[in-house]
Structure 1
Amino acid sequence: MIKLVAFDVDGTLRDRDYLPESTRLALQRLQEQGIILTLCTGRSEYEMASLREELGIDWAITCNGTHIGYRGETVFGSAFAKDTVREWLEQADRLNQTLLLYGSEKMFTNRQDAPYFLQAQQEIGFMNPILLEFNQDVPDIYQCIVFCNEQDESLYVGEESNTYYMHRWRSWALDINPGGMNKAIGLQRLLDHLGISTNEAAAFGDGLNDWEMIEEVGLGIVMGNADDTLKQKTSFVTRSLREDGIAYAVDKWILQLT
């Protein structure tokens, strides 16, 4: 029996501002059965607030599992060391590169109107961050996006890149999270908190940073619009986002198990 369902956001629940009505109704059907819903995304708690409230979802696992919030309030968080963030800000200033830093309630950047950020904002949508210069006090930061090519990665993470969880989602954009964290770890922390077993959880995703979460749960479902590499890893592949993929999987694989 499924007691909790986790949803990636971009490419899974919605495509930019488009969220299918069938998805909205499917979430309502799950909630009517007493099933707990949570967002599970690489985006920040701050960015997810309006969507979470719109859908009536209490929980959000954000920053690739590094931050967990209940109705917007931090329940668990694994922030970077502040000295590390200061070093990254100094490095980015020297290299004329752009950082996007995710706190629990706000997003920050060291450089506004930068070309790569504007391109990402156009392609997938970002809320406007607050300017944070390297000599200002550093808040708790749970994820850093570096707009740089692969050759420059080592300038931020050093030679021991395995001390961080990293996800490159563009040739010029890299997510960096504290080591040992990913969506599966964040989801497991929430499941433990709620007293729900892994086998009682389902998860939807479409990106490679969703794989650990999909593999971990009792029912991991890949969207039909996902990369073929991800679809080949599981037997539960639903229709695409724009073909009512969430609703199809909810009715076929989740509600029939309740």
Structure 2
Amino acid sequence: MIRILASDIDNTLFSHQTYSIPAVNLAAADRLREQGVELVLATARIYAGVRKLEAQLQMKEKGGMIIASAGAELIDCFSGIRTVLHSLSAEQIQMLKQFSDAHSGVTLAVQQEDLMVADGYDASLDSDRTIVGIDFLVVGSDFFSYIQKPACMAGLTGDPDQLDEIEAAARRTLRDVTLTRSGPGFLDITPQGVHKALTLRQLCEKRGISLKELAAIGDGNNDREMLAEAGLSFAPNNAVEAVKTQVDQLVGSCEEGAFAQAVAMILNQNEKEQNHGTV
């Protein structure tokens, strides 16, 4: 039996073409919860970029969890409890700033609760502001005076072609952090070993649920660990190639109802198992 569905947001549940959750996916979320399967949103977005979707999905009323900042934060929607699980140290942020300063055309953004503090602004950050709806505070030489709270994650952004070289340099230079190319213009940075799957494992342990009872759907490189952990995994047919080759089942694109198709398969499997008296 599948008891939890962990879903990526961008280009999986939420369409970047329409800037919305397709109606078919919204309806599927209700069916999923009506059948007793918990919904967990697992995203690299900071929590501020999930709140509108949390409201659309009525998660505060119907329950569910949000794994935000690529696994560094956990939000219990029903209780409203928000927990910082992991954060970058002051020394690590200093290291990231030095790296950013040494590479022209690259922007560093550091999370400060519901705000991203950035040392510049570029097209990738602008798309994040437009699509995700988060705020950026662009600061200059006094950058560190704005870093006063735990930084769950950071990111390096820039032109996608240039970021290929920057990523290679970052992997040679930056130590004790996790680097994930979450999109063409985005290199996400989290504390070492922190990703969506780590928090999912902890959540399953707390719930007394085995990983075989976990399903997951996602489309990007930052979903690969959770898809590998899940007992049943799905990906949209326009996911990155590495993801498409590792999952149990491909479904349609987000706009074609990828999430809804996964939900239908999960509920069908659960019904068959119930009818056969298996767990």
TM over 0.5: yes
Between stretches 180-189 and 72-81, larger displacement belongs to 72-81
Of 131, 143, 146, the residue aligned with 1:134 is 143
Whole-angstrom CA distance in 2 between matches of 1:131 and 1:139: 17
**Which residue of 2 is the match for residue 11 of structure 1?**
11
Does the 8 Å contact 2:49/2:132 carry over to 1?
no
Residue 9 of structure 1: how far off its partner (Å): 0.2
Identical pairs, percent? 25
Residue 255 of structure 1: how far off its partner (Å): 4.0
Between stretches 165-174 and 188-197, larger displacement belongs to 165-174
Of 198, 208, 232, the residue aligned with 1:195 is 208
**Which residue of 1 is the match for residue 266 of structure 2?**
253
Per-residue CA deviations over 1:196-216 (Å, capped at 9, x if unaligned) read: 211111111011211111110
**Which residue of 2 is the match for residue 59 of structure 1?**
65
**Which residue of 1 is the match for residue 228 of structure 2?**
215
Residue 160 of structure 1: how far off its partner (Å): 5.6
Whole-angstrom CA distance in 1 between matches of 2:51 and 2:256: 26
Whole-angstrom CA distance in 1 between matches of 2:76 and 2:96: 29
> Normalization by structure 1: what TM-score?
0.87
The 1:44/1:120 distance shift into structure 2, 3 A limit, reads closer
**Which residue of 2 is the match for residue 144 of structure 1?**
154
Question: When the two structures are aligned, how many residues end up with a matched partner?
Answer: 255
Of 88, 92, 101, the residue aligned with 2:96 is 88
The 1:33/1:229 distance shift into structure 2, 3 A limit, reads same
> Normalization by structure 2: what TM-score?
0.81
Whole-angstrom CA distance in 1 between matches of 2:58 and 2:242: 32
Report the aligned-residue RMSD. 2.5
Whole-angstrom CA distance in 2 between matches of 1:232 and 1:91: 34
**Which residue of 1 is the match for residue 275 of structure 2?**
none
Residue 252 of structure 1: how far off its partner (Å): 2.3
Does the 8 Å contact 1:85/1:138 carry over to 2?
no
**Which residue of 1 is the match for residue 110 of structure 2?**
101
Local SS of the residue matching 1:243: coil
Per-residue CA deviations over 1:40-98 (Å, capped at 9, x if unaligned) read: 01111121112112202331001111211112532351001123224433553565642
The 1:238/1:49 distance shift into structure 2, 3 A limit, reads same
Whole-angstrom CA distance in 2 between matches of 1:95 and 1:126: 27
1:224 has 2:230 as partner: no
Whole-angstrom CA distance in 2 between matches of 1:194 and 1:146: 35
Local SS of the residue matching 1:5: strand
Whole-angstrom CA distance in 1 between matches of 2:169 and 2:224: 27
Whole-angstrom CA distance in 2 between matches of 1:45 and 1:70: 11
**Which residue of 1 is the match for residue 35 of structure 2?**
33
Local SS of the residue matching 1:250: helix
1:234 has 2:244 as partner: no
Of 71, 81, 87, the residue aligned with 1:79 is 87
The one-letter amino acid paired with 1:127 is: I
Whole-angstrom CA distance in 1 between matches of 2:144 and 2:257: 48
Does the 8 Å contact 1:102/1:143 carry over to 2?
yes
Local SS of the residue matching 1:169: strand
Note the residue ranges of structure 2 that are not aligned, 5 or more in a row: 272-279
Whole-angstrom CA distance in 2 between matches of 1:121 and 1:60: 20
The 1:157/1:106 distance shift into structure 2, 3 A limit, reads farther
The one-letter amino acid paired with 1:144 is: A
Whole-angstrom CA distance in 2 between matches of 1:139 and 1:157: 26
Residue 238 of structure 1: how far off its partner (Å): 1.4
**Which residue of 2 is the match for residue 50 of structure 1?**
52
The one-letter amino acid paired with 1:143 is: M
The 1:85/1:62 distance shift into structure 2, 3 A limit, reads same
